[in-house]
Chain A
Amino acid sequence: MDIQPKMPKSWNAATKPHKFCPGCGHGLILKALGQVIDEMGIQDRVVFGCDIGCSLLSWDFFNVDTVQTHHGRTTPVMVGIKKARPDRIVIAYMGDGGGYAIGSQHLVNAATRDDKITVILVNNTVYAMTGGQMAPTTMPGQKTETTPFGRDVEQAGYPMMGPEMVAAITQEGAYVARGSVAKFRKLKEYIRKALENQIAMRGFSFVEALSTCPTNWRTNAEKTWEFVEKIMPEQYPLGELKVPVIKEG
């Protein structure tokens, strides 16, 4: 008899199996988030916002109130909700294109304003939904549909170091980390801390999650795992970049 691993309670069982490609990292990130929502007992207080790109496929993923927005605009929608209803726990879920390119002004300004929201940004180094074009996070030399000979930084520029930037522009109450689907327990811990930071209203909280895209990387299982586990962290170091100073009280 097969025993299936338990689904988080906050997941919407009716929409499983989920709609992501085989080998995609979104399922793992949303599993970590689902487990954290369960463990913290916040399912009835969360408002989840998802962007355009593959993240939009999570619009009915959870049994939590969810708004699917426009490309890059999940941050302002969640900021708007938080301003009007500070008792809600808002999560802006987006890809690297949405957060670092088309919606970068929203990320920069929400972080600078110290809006009490949590952003979870999935870095898989490509625009996946549109078919594998170069993303702000495409690594130097990496081949994509719009960098067929590899990303030439002289011509196409350098990759965006998101958490480093957010850490630099936020106040001391901010929480900033970069996790990976290859280090699931750590990623889950970062997501948990980010949400705790929002609930404590200490400051902006941001987690970048390194993730996989075998469909657009055109990699088999082994190569996919090698890329996310070994190669990506060479460009994108894992760990906490900013942990709020909690005042004794």
Chain B
Amino acid sequence: MGIIEGEKKAFMTGNEAVAWAALVAGAEIMYGYPITPQNEIMQYWTRLAPKHGRKFLQTEDELSAGFTTIGGVLTGKRAFTATAGPGNVLMQEPMSMAEAMRIPTVVVVQQRGGPSTATVIYSQQEVTLTCFGGNGEGLRVVYSTSSHQELYDYTIKAFNTAWKYRFPTFVLADGYQAKMRESLVLYDPEERGIEMVPTEPFVGKPGMPGEDRPPAHLRNTYNIEEELEEVLKKDIQEYEQMAPEIIEYDEFNTDGADVLVIAHGVVFRSAAMAVRKLADEGLKVGYFRPITLRPFPQEQLRQAAAKAKQLMVVESAYGQLLKLVKDNLYGMDLPIHTHLRPGVGVTPEEVVADLRTVLEGRED
């Protein structure tokens, strides 16, 4: 019997939506450490979990939250954690190990202001960290959500992506999504025909190791350069092979756009509202939204950009999405305008005003 019967309309915070999503996705254990604005994920989980035979451990810091999550996953359980800001910085050490050892961890990040302690409120400043944190190549999956419904949907999906492809998977949201209340529909994945990818233990399989089965000898350290290269080659190849299967994006009105707006996460909502308003006025504006920031929808963005005259990147950071965009458009010659508000929310009105300036500039 499912935890949720049928479709259930709800009006709740994003943090609560994440806890429900993890529950219906079959997450068996959460390991966590308090940091605002993700605290309520743990708070809802610790209320929901005992009713459904699920577990929780509050750890001593985010290093421990990440490494205990790895331990839980190694036993073949869907395990997850959640963090933000300076906690996300510490989380990069365990997630670097998960990346090296292909351990399917799930981490929900509710971005707050940075650098350092900054604000407990909101930002989009953890894009680079979440996509490329750790001393490696960023072999991980990052979904950037823009609504509570998506927080719910993508938290469920994150467990499946992680366990299917065995790369650490992140749901990247922010303090607004974490703390706002918004309506969404809760559902049991099975009732929507979403099959949860089965899990498998890395350690503690039945049988005598060395007799009935080989022992698990899991490591992240290598003696020689070529040994490491061989492992990385395979991981990178598998990552690139997987990318087209999981890349997600959204686009609107891209044909012959005078300005193509590029935004992700909650800022995308402001950008989309602005674009639709101007499009309704008959102006040639469109938008492109990467949903997966890692792997990035490179081909799709390049196709959309090829049809546009100029671009405008809008984000609550000082050029982190911009960097991704430039990197993925390498070799294309297009003017890129920006609307960068590090650690500050973006309203549709601001985007409309900036777009008008750019569009008028074109007319000059």
For chain A, the count of residues having a C-beta within 8 Å of the partner chain is: 35
Say yes or no for B20: interface residue by CB 8 A criterion: no
Chain A residues with CB under 8 A of B61: 105
Name A residues whose Cβ lies closer than 8 Å to a Cβ of B. 10, 12, 43-45, 47, 52, 56, 59-60, 62-70, 73, 76-85, 88, 105-106, 108-109
**How far in angstroms is the closest Cβ of chain A from B319?**
31
By beta carbon, the residue of chain B nearest A106 is B64
CB<8 Å pairs between A and B, sample of 26: A12-B210, A43-B209, A47-B204, A56-B221, A60-B217, A66-B215, A67-B216, A68-B221, A69-B67, A73-B93, A73-B94, A76-B64, A77-B67, A77-B70, A78-B71, A79-B71, A80-B71, A81-B71, A83-B29, A83-B71, A84-B29, A84-B72, A85-B75, A85-B77, A88-B204, A105-B63
A59 to B215, CA, bound (A): 11
Chain B residues with CB under 8 A of A84: 28-29, 55, 71-72, 75, 77, 79
Chain B residues with CB under 8 A of A62: 215
**How far in angstroms is the closest Cβ of chain A from B137?**
18
The answer to whether residues A83 and B67 also contact, given A62-B215, A63-B209, A88-B75 and a CB cut-off of 8 A, is: no
Residue in A43, A67, A73, A79 whose beta carbon sits within 8 Å of that of B203 in the complex: A67
The answer to whether residues A81 and B75 also contact, given A44-B208, A65-B204, A65-B215 and a CB cut-off of 8 A, is: yes
Q: Is the CB of B68 within 8 A of A83?
A: yes
Identify which of residues 192-249 in chain B touch chain A, using a CB-to-CB cut-off of 8 Å.
202-205, 207-211, 215-221
Name B residues whose Cβ lies closer than 8 Å to a Cβ of A. 28-29, 31, 55, 57, 59-61, 63-64, 67-72, 74-75, 77, 79, 93-94, 97, 202-205, 207-211, 215-221
Q: Is the CB of A70 within 8 A of B208?
A: no
Residue in A65, A83, A88, A109 whose beta carbon sits within 8 Å of that of B55 in the complex: A83
Chain A residues with CB under 8 A of B97: 69-70, 73
By beta carbon, the residue of chain A nearest B58 is A113
Q: Is the CB of B215 within 8 A of A76?
A: no
Q: Is the CB of A109 within 8 A of B60?
A: yes
